[in-house]
Amino acid sequence: MIRKLIVAGALVAAMTAPALADPIEGNWKTKSGETAAISACGGSYCVTLKTGKHAGKRIGKMTAKGGGYSGTITDPAKDKTYSGSASISGNTMKMKGCVLGVLCRSENWAKM
């Protein structure tokens, strides 16, 4: 009887647990054609450009939140940082950056 209760409790916990975000780590092709590497750093995920004019520059930091990611993202050409979010579906990541939470721009990145 106790074993059945434990199994039932585990099933309920699994069904009510929040969805985990799809893995963000790896190399991504940005909208402008550069390669961005996303890797774990201090409990978050750092976004660093590997190619292009701004190669080596860290352009973001994200934390897993629910089924996606949130943090900051920097436009390296303008050197402006925005609040950001990312959601992943298969090999596509939708990156979104906002100013004051209302003026937003998004772009899709492809997993390499």
Mean pLDDT, rounded, of the chain: 83
User: Cα separation of 111 and 91, whole Å?
Assistant: 5
With beta carbons less than 8 A apart as the criterion, state whether 40 and 25 touch: yes
Domains present along the chain, CATH in parentheses: 20-111 (2.40.128.30)
Q: Model confidence at 99, in pLDDT bands (50, 70, 90)?
A: confident
| Residue 8: predicted pLDDT | 39
Name the least confident of 9-23, 35-49, 54-68, 91-105: 9-23
Q: Model confidence at 6, in pLDDT bands (50, 70, 90)?
A: very low
Residue 56, Cα to own-chain centre: how many angstroms?
Answer: 19
